[in-house]
Amino acid sequence: MATHHTSKEAPSKRHDSAGTAAATASAGASAKQDAASVTKPPVPPKVHRARHSKAAGSRHSAASTQSRMPRIHLQPGEEAPAPTLPADSPEQLGRVAVLDITPSRENDVFPVRVELGETFSVTAQVFIEGRSKIGATAVLRNPRGREMLRMPMACVNPGLDRWAVTLKAGEHSTVKPWDEEWPALRRQLGDWSLIVEGWEDTYASWLHDARIKVDVHDDVENALDSGANLLSRWADRHDAGLSASERRTLREAAERIADHSLNGHERLAAADNEAIERLHVEHPLRDAISPSHPKTVHVERPKSSFTAWYQFFPRSEGATRDPQTGKITPGTLRTSVSGLERAAAQGFDVVYLPPIFPIGVTNRKGRNNSLVAGPEDPGSPFGIGSELGGHDTVDPQLGTMDDFKALCARAHELNLEIALDFALQCSPDHPWVKEHPDWFRHKPDGTIAFAENPPKKYQDIYPIDFNADMPGIERKVERLMDLWIEAGVTIFRIDNPHTKPVRFWQDVIAAVTRKHPEVLFLAEAFTRPGMMRALSYVGFTQSHCYFPWRNEKWNLDDYLLETNSDEAFYQHNTFWPTTPDILTDYIRDNGIAGHAIRAVLAAMGSPSWGIYNGYELIENRQRPGYEEQQDNEKYEVKVRDWSQAGQYGIGELLASLNRIRRAHPACRSYHDLNLLPCEDESIIAFIRHVPAELTGTGKPDTVIVVVNLDAHNSHQAVVHLELGDYGLPTDRAVRLRDELTGREFDWGWDNFVSLAPWADVAHILSVEY
């Protein structure tokens, strides 16, 4: 479940270079450096290093560790600050213990993944002995080791010593792989390091005790003299990143608190005021800095997490029907430019094409997956391969390779990426059947077995058998993908990857991305959680998921939290309301309002979402007995009258949703969603929030989504908003703007909402800061 604690975080301020160097010094630095970086009292301490014991040899031991711990010689009455201790191996703890950092790579093998500029939550268990106050800081460094972000953490569960913060790796970008800026952006990608620094908050500990002692007149002189020494030491600390005026403020406070001519309360006030508290928040005195061992965060390119997909079939795009004969003239790659333009106008940024390869003739499927194809039936594009070629050939009925390259070039002009479906399967007519018969599974009678997914049968498809020559198949697929990448493809949508060995995909994706790091992979896999996680580990950036069947409030609540959680450091669920293979009962039964409801949930419930064309025309006729469309486009050419789309308003809604998503940083992350309580079982409400430090605008970004799941009846509910959790004022109304309608509302803690499907199926509310 995604968590939010940013409202409790202290504001951050950039440290100077000296502070950065001190704060992030290696735990294995010399004891002399450790002592100098941690303490600078008015009388500089003498630091001695104990001689290394010969008995210990080169082998790490407790004795050898102790020999490198700093020893500080103090003046009489002077209190020793806690030192930074060396920690040379992962099992060693620092002076402050830092444990259980999340997110963390699986088995220390598979790193967590985020998109460049995507916000994500980090937590850790941080503690010290006794009742001393502590603090924690999270630090992100890019692949070249440069510190890119330093943020204070907040204690969100004192009983469990749990600290949390929201971070982001780099800045959000819309740069595409073909843009001139791509080489510079590419250098930001790769393995970043995350370190959590625990440290003793000496000032907070002192102030807590000093207030009590002054109030009850208990050992006041010692308490205040100790505070004077502490403030002087603080002023001299390079790690604090203080300006000259801030150092002067601390020194003047130290002088006043050391003035015995003043009474106790006057002296304490010199160190207990807003100016000192501001310095404590922004430039704290950090003793015993204890950095964790680095955790890896793999930062991926734009569109790896935040994507809006649009799918169409080139053979249907621009298809016409002769009004006299009824004969259909299919579309081509050239006429498919209209699909690109429609996708761009609606604000999508990836166009996904099904296979564009030659289609086999043997066992070709007819309309609605019938076993007998008529003379005009084009067959399924997933029955790949004929005498005209296989996976390396453009179907001549669609055009040529040059036509495909021109389509990609036009897509790039429209700022669209082309995703190509790569189905690793063959028709009986595919050249591989003769060239590599050992690549297919045979029955005992010597015939090749066609594909099955009982009760479904795919008589027009031969599945690949990976047992005989997996290395050879890998090399072939790598060369094929290189071919299409050179033509302009930047994303592959892989059909049924869970029916092939995971190791196969691991090898192929590694080889392809080694040469083409910009290439992304989408898994069309509806399967078990373990397999989905494994596919994510080996390089599938996004995946289809079970969103189409999550239609009631209780399972939508669960699925939104599952999708937007730590699970998304690996698996990025992409929400598609429909696909050529999926048309649910909900879409069938709920008309225009149902299409609008599911579009809002998909676009706002996941950073990655997709639409299969025809959604704008309310194509919701179900094939009897199946959750798929009647007259499935997989088996025939569709002739659509796009001039009718305006009467439904869905196309305009899709454009609005994509506009809203682009405008709000809160919509870009898989780690910032929380549910909002409301009692009506037909009203679902959730919030996305990014703190001001991470938006890039200097202002927080908060988006609240409220949806009526009932496409036929109005519903009312009171939606509770825990204002303080999101940094919102708790003493006055908050002004919200509905991004869909432009209307404005004032919200507080508990808010009445009424939604009627004939008016508004949803509110998408942004906070006006």
* Per-range mean pLDDT, top range of 54-58, 463-467, 702-706: 702-706
357-383: per-residue pLDDT in tens? 999 999 999 999 899 999 999 999 999
Decide if 262 contacts 171 (C-beta within 8 A).
no
Note the residue count of the chain.
769
Q: Which of 300, 86, 109 is nearest to 188 (CA)?
A: 300
**Active-site pick, 9, 115, 201, 495:** 495
Amino acid 227: pLDDT: 95
Q: List residues forming the annotated binding site.
A: 365, 425, 460, 496, 634-635
CATH number for the segment(s) 6-300: 2.60.40.10
Lowest model confidence (mean pLDDT) among 18-22, 59-63, 186-190, 474-478: 18-22
Q: Examine the pLDDT at 601 and tell me if it is beyond 80.
A: yes
Rounded distance between C-alpha atoms, residue 287 and residue 96, angstroms: 10
- Kindly state the greatest CA–CA separation across the chain: 108
Q: Which residues pair with 98 in a beta bridge?
A: 126
Rounded distance between C-alpha atoms, residue 680 and residue 628, angstroms: 31
Rounded distance between C-alpha atoms, residue 63 and residue 103, angstroms: 33
Confidence of residue 69 (pLDDT cuts 50, 70, 90): low
Q: Examine the pLDDT at 318 and tell me if it is beyond 70.
A: yes
Do the domains 314-493+545-664 and 6-300 match in fold?
Answer: no
25-66: per-residue pLDDT in tens? 333 333 333 333 333 333 333 333 333 333 333 344 444 445
Q: List residues forming the annotated binding site for alpha-maltose 1-phosphate.
A: 365, 425, 460, 496, 634-635
Token pair, residue 743, equals: 């209307």
414-425: per-residue pLDDT in tens? 999 999 999 999
Of all residues in the chain, what percent carry a pLDDT higher than 90? 83
The reply to whether 495 belongs to the active site is yes
Q: What is the mean pLDDT of residues 245-265?
A: 96
Amino acid 769: pLDDT: 85
Amino acid 406: pLDDT: 98
Q: Where do the domains of the chain lie?
A: 6-300, 314-493+545-664, 667-767
Confidence of residue 457 (pLDDT cuts 50, 70, 90): confident
Amino acid 93: pLDDT: 87
Determine how β-strand 190-200 pairs with β-strand 287-291: antiparallel
Amino acid 86: pLDDT: 79
Token pair, residue 115, equals: 């998109």
**Active-site pick, 524, 672, 680, 739:** 524
Amino acid 25: pLDDT: 35
According to the CATH classification, is domain 314-493+545-664 in 2.60.40.420?
no
Amino acid 74: pLDDT: 54
Amino acid 660: pLDDT: 98
Confidence of residue 288 (pLDDT cuts 50, 70, 90): very high
Mean confidence (pLDDT) of the chain:
89
Rounded distance between C-alpha atoms, residue 20 and residue 533, angstroms: 37
667-767 CATH, one of 2.60.40.1180, 3.90.70.10, 3.30.70.2860, 2.70.98.10: 2.60.40.1180
Q: Examine the pLDDT at 10 and tell me if it is beyond 50.
A: no
In Å, how far are 443, 564, 613 from 551, measured between CA atoms? 42, 17, 21
> What is the residue-wise DSSP string for 594-605?
HHHHHHHHHHHH
400-416: per-residue pLDDT in tens? 999 999 999 999 999 99
The reply to whether 16 belongs to the active site is no
